Chains A and B, each alone.
Chain A
Amino acid sequence: MMLKNYNFTKKESRLYMSFMYVTFASLLIGGLMGLLQTLARSGEFQLPFGINYYTILTVHGVILGLVLTTFFIVGFQFALMGKTVGISDKQLKWAWIAFWTMLVGTIMAAVTILVGQANVLYTFYAPLRAHPAFYFGLALVIVGSWIAVFTNFRQLYVWKKANPGQKSPLLAFMVTINMAMWFIASLGVATSVLVQFIPWSLGYAATINVLLSRTLFWYFGHPLVYFWLLPAYMAWYAIIPKIIGGKLFSDSLARLAFILLLLFSIPVGFHHQLTEPGIDPTWKFIQVVLTFMVIIPSLMTAFSIFGTFEVRGRKLGYKGLFGWLRNLPWNDVRFLAPFIGMVAFIPGGAGGIVNASHQMNALIHNTIWVTGHFHLTVATTVILTYFGMAYWLVPHLTGRRLTPKLNKLGIIQTIIWTVGMAIMSTAMHIQGLLGGPRRSAFSNYMGGEQVETWISYQIAQAVGGTILFIGIILMIYIFIQLAFFAPKGVQEFPIAEEEVDAEPTPLILENWYLWIGITIALILFAYTIPVIDIIKHSPPGSIPFDWPIGR
């Protein structure tokens, strides 16, 4: 079935581009902080002007992990919705309200961190205390994103009313799943910020229940990583097939994978808290089992991607077991960047399974292995796919073209990123296995045999970090070219279509009451009893700590 795609008006393009400007400004600021961190941790450099290491660490995490990702995702998803189900003037107005609310919140939080009043890292664990403006800023970012959530829901609802009996466009379905997951998950962190952190940081509450705040954070924190990943999956399922000249592998498989990701992304936060005292091991075990369920949709995705490539190659007549790989458009950056992202997800995902396994978590918990892990997943898989999307989305929105020269620069950027990250992330993984800690500033810990094994890896991380920063500068250059200087023209918005003889998609896959009902049931099952335990049996709450880091 052919669905009609909508053309963007200038007003719409301006909205989607506004999200992109914030995304790439964040990349530059956050990336610079990352460079400074790796240099400082090499032990060869000292931060200038007495800048606190934990200030730049917090800026890096908040600006890249929360701001860049959220702005790109919300902007990209608005563009997908606008293209597949359309946007009304009223919805556009709400989308702008979402943008400005998020931006004001971001600026509030960022300024508070930069003036040294919120050295609490992006996880803002209690009892480290930040200035209240930091928490108010975060709350505004979340509220802004909720406005985007309900605007997207409304867009799909209006389209369904106008097209009764038709299944929703695949990309609109995927956006709705991601936003449903984001809304349900962010209720946890919003509760923690509004009920626990803000009164405590203002001095209205003397103490805070640390375990409860961390549990609410990770109730949100794990689905957060899927919130980053699902837009990349949207691209892999529904955009990359078009770029390689193929068709959707299976509409039903894609929808089922997204539903499974919705079900199993939230009731799993305890696998981040496996070393946490105060949580019954039985509930940790149950949540680890639920975590492992996510492997199913992940492998379905891998199968679908390989299948898309093979079907396309076979249709073009390529023979042999892996002959179809030769057909892929290796010199097209819109394909190459996301492809390397897919490859990085193989060690990234496998490492994640190690992290979530209770015993082996003890091996790597709080070591820099974990930092290496999420630099493979979010900072390679996710970000290279986002870059891959930006190469066509930005010129599509600005009425320009991705020229062969910019395409070539993009390929160079992708290679620089891959080399830099391979060096940095591998060094982090190995140092982690040798016990090297994450989060902390440079220290020789007063000497010691084990500590001496770490330093060469920290220098390797500085080399990798420097290469990555060169990649960031190049990416910013390409973005500016695509936004303002590339030749005028028409750049395709690639959306894959179904095969003409595709099997119809079962209607049950779009039964929102059913899937959201199961999601809520699983959350209630996994969290109700342990949270009651935590509230009833926690030790006395903690007073705020502003030292050694904090404010």
Chain B
Amino acid sequence: MANKNKKQNQTTPKESEISLKGTFISVMLLGVFILALWFGSYALFLSR
């Protein structure tokens, strides 16, 4: 049991070592969506 725990601790990376690239890209895509909707609506405003 103790060995199993040890092994688990070795294989589980610490939170600070985990790559958060996916999170970064996701948040950036979210920002792009917000800007696209905003500028789209602004273009509509200007065209009227």
Contacts and interface: CB of A to CB of B under 8 A. Distances in A.
A96 to B, nearest CB: 43
A366 to B, nearest CB: 16
Nearest to A311: B18
Contact of A307 (B23, B30, B38, B42): B23
Contacts of B48: 363
Contacts of A362: 45
Nearest to B25: A321
Contacts of A303: 23, 27
Contact of A350 (B18, B21, B38): B38
A302 B30 contact: yes
Nearest to A347: B37
Contact of B34 (A306, A350, A501): A350
Interface stretch (A8-16, A160-168, A193-201, A352-360): A352-360
Contacts of A321: 21-22, 25
A325 to B, nearest CB: 8
A311 B22 CA distance: 10
Interface string B7-48: 000001111101111110111001101100110011011001
B47 to A, nearest CB: 10
Contacts of B31: 299
Interface in A329-358: 346-347, 349-351, 353-354, 357
A499 interface: yes
A322 interface: yes
* Interface majority SS (helix, strand, loop, mixed), chain A: helix
B17 to A, nearest CB: 9
Contact of B37 (A299, A307, A351, A499): A351
Interface string A65-99: 00000000000000000000000000000000000
Contacts of A351: 37
A433 interface: yes
A242 interface: no
Nearest to B27: A303
A323 B21 CA distance: 11
A499 B12 CA distance: 12
Contacts of B16: 501
Contacts of B18: 310-311, 314-315
A349 B44 contact: no
For chain A, give the interface size range.
20 to 34
A351 B13 CA distance: 39
Contacts of A350: 33-34, 37-38
Given A346-B33, A354-B41, A302 B22 contact: no
Contacts of B37: 347, 350-351, 353-354
Contacts of B44: 363, 433
A496 to B, nearest CB: 13
A110 B23 CA distance: 46
A299 B12 CA distance: 28
A476 to B, nearest CB: 34
B34 A311 contact: no
A367 B33 CA distance: 23
Contact of A315 (B12, B25, B27, B30): B12
A324 B20 CA distance: 10
A501 B15 contact: yes
A501 B9 CA distance: 12
B19 to A, nearest CB: 7
A315 B25 CA distance: 19
Nearest to B30: A302
Nearest to B12: A315
Contacts of B34: 349-350, 353
B15 A299 contact: no
Contacts of A311: 15, 18, 20
A357 B38 contact: yes
Contacts of A433: 44
A505 B43 CA distance: 44
Contacts of A314: 13, 18-19
A11 to B, nearest CB: 40
A324 B24 CA distance: 13
A351 B41 CA distance: 9
A319 B22 CA distance: 10
A522 B48 CA distance: 36
Contacts of A349: 34
A85 to B, nearest CB: 27
A360 B15 contact: no
Given A350-B38, A363-B41, A363-B45, 18 more contacts: A247-B15, A299-B31, A302-B30, A306-B27, A307-B23, A309-B23, A310-B18, A311-B18, A321-B25, A322-B22, A324-B22, A353-B37, A354-B38, A357-B38, A360-B38, A360-B41, A360-B45, A433-B44
24 contacts: A299-B31, A302-B30, A306-B26, A306-B27, A309-B23, A310-B18, A310-B19, A311-B15, A311-B18, A314-B19, A315-B13, A322-B22, A322-B26, A323-B22, A350-B38, A353-B37, A359-B42, A359-B45, A360-B38, A360-B42, A363-B45, A363-B48, A499-B15, A501-B16
| CB-CB nearest 6 A-B residue pairs | A306-B23, A350-B37, A306-B26, A350-B34, A307-B23, A354-B41
Interface of A: 247, 299, 302-303, 306-307, 309-311, 314-315, 321-324, 346-347, 349-351, 353-354, 357, 359-360, 362-363, 433, 499, 501-502
